[in-house]
Amino acid sequence: MARPLASSATPATDTWAAAYHAKLNRGTIPGLDGIRALAVLLVIASHFGFTWINGALGVLIFFVLSGFLITWLMLKELDKSGTVSLKNFYRRRMLRIFPAFYAFWLAGVIIYLVRGHHLDWGQVWSAFFYVSNYWMALVPSSCMLFPHTWSLSIEEQFYLLWPALFLLGLRNPRRLPWLLGTAIIVVWVHRALLLFVFHAPQEYLYRAFDTRLDHLAVGCLLAILLRRGVLYGLARFLTRSVWLPALTLGLLFAAQAGHNSPAFIYTVGYAVEPLLTACFLLQLIWFSDSGAWRIVERPIVRYLGRISYPLYLWQQLTLFTSKQMMAGQHIALQFAFALAVTVAFASASYYVVEKPFLRMKSRF
């Protein structure tokens, strides 16, 4: 049953394929922490106030990466044991996500109450139950404590659905990539219909799980095809030159110019940008030890990628206060200070809250 999704044999005479295969099968796939760091820095810079930086791109990168990593880990478990344990999967996800999130949730609520800030309890409780994406899509709110949790809600909803669907797909594993591809196209059509026919609000198109599912599915499909060795030809083409990742990244950033137009964002933009992100991921895996791309494997970059989750959580509380504390200083100093404070809070969360629970993950 598992054989069609298993890792394909590497041609003994193909040096490039053997080298790429070896990178994929390291304990930690190279370049991925660097992509995480890029994504969270885009979000932080945008939320700090650099309006020319699109933090939404960082969120999109996280979606593609989440789909890829979760599927890749399930494929590795499938290769090793012949199945995927849903019970252990959810235990691992709970240990990875819940401690840091609920520590942040509780701290945020307490800080807002003590300082007398406005709390939107609908937003507060929808964040607690990981449905804030739909709450915020349908109910306007001026509270700035948990608006960023919409993306975490989408990921949690994905974690609830995808593993079970993955196991169901293994009944006919050769069809699974086709089903994912079909799902991606269906979401493209669904989003266009919501925009042009039903005139759905942009808040819904931006935040709803059903309108962003394709971004996660692109990552899932990438993992399956890469694990089977199907994408080695594409990966080889995309890594012919060390300059090609810069071209892919340039196209990804160039696409942001069209984000002033809803018609572009929710049709062309949201279709093309996840595919470009997948291409960039393929390229960084190969070039993580070449030229200027070695930066993604630098200790500081890898560390930022490792703590990207608490960075994403805490930046909503730290950035504005840090910016106020540095009022009157040059904007570069303000941002450096705000980033340092955010890293400090995220590091505390990582070492004090997350790591004790992460050590428990090995049991499952």
pLDDT of residue 61: 98
Instruction: With a cut of 60, say whether residue 201 has pLDDT above it.
Output: yes
Select from 270, 252, 110, 125 the least CA-distant residue to 188: 270
Instruction: With a cut of 90, say whether residue 362 has pLDDT above it.
Output: no
pLDDT of residue 73: 94
Q: What's the CA gap between 312 and 193, in Å, rounded?
A: 32
pLDDT of residue 2: 45
CA angle, 341 then 152 then 321, to 5°? 25
pLDDT tens per residue, range 263-289: 999 999 999 999 999 999 999 999 999
pLDDT of residue 12: 45
Instruction: With a cut of 80, say whether residue 364 has pLDDT above it.
Output: no
CB proximity list for 257: less than 8 A, separation 6 or greater? none
Q: Are 38 and 277 in contact (CB under 8 A)?
A: no
* This prediction's pTM: 0.95
pLDDT of residue 14: 80
What value does the mean pLDDT take over residues 338-349? 98
Going from N- to C-terminal start, the domains of the chain cover 42-80+90-363
pLDDT tens per residue, range 157-195: 999 999 999 999 998 999 999 999 999 999 999 999 999
Instruction: With a cut of 50, say whether residue 231 has pLDDT above it.
Output: yes
Instruction: With a cut of 80, say whether residue 247 has pLDDT above it.
Output: yes
pLDDT tier at 11, thresholds 50, 70, 90: low
| Six-digit token string for 59 | 């969120």
pLDDT tier at 361, thresholds 50, 70, 90: confident
pLDDT of residue 200: 97
DSSP E strand boundaries for 136-180: none
CB proximity list for 79: less than 8 A, separation 6 or greater? 2, 6, 7
Integer Rg of the chain from CA: 21
pLDDT tens per residue, range 313-326: 999 999 999 999 99
Q: Are 38 and 58 in contact (CB under 8 A)?
A: yes
pLDDT tier at 39, thresholds 50, 70, 90: very high
Identity of the residue numbered 83: T
pLDDT tens per residue, range 91-118: 999 999 999 999 999 999 999 999 999 9
pLDDT tens per residue, range 326-343: 999 999 999 999 999 999
Q: Phi then psi for 291, rounded to 5 degrees? A: 55, -145
pLDDT tier at 259, thresholds 50, 70, 90: confident
Instruction: With a cut of 60, say whether residue 10 has pLDDT above it.
Output: no
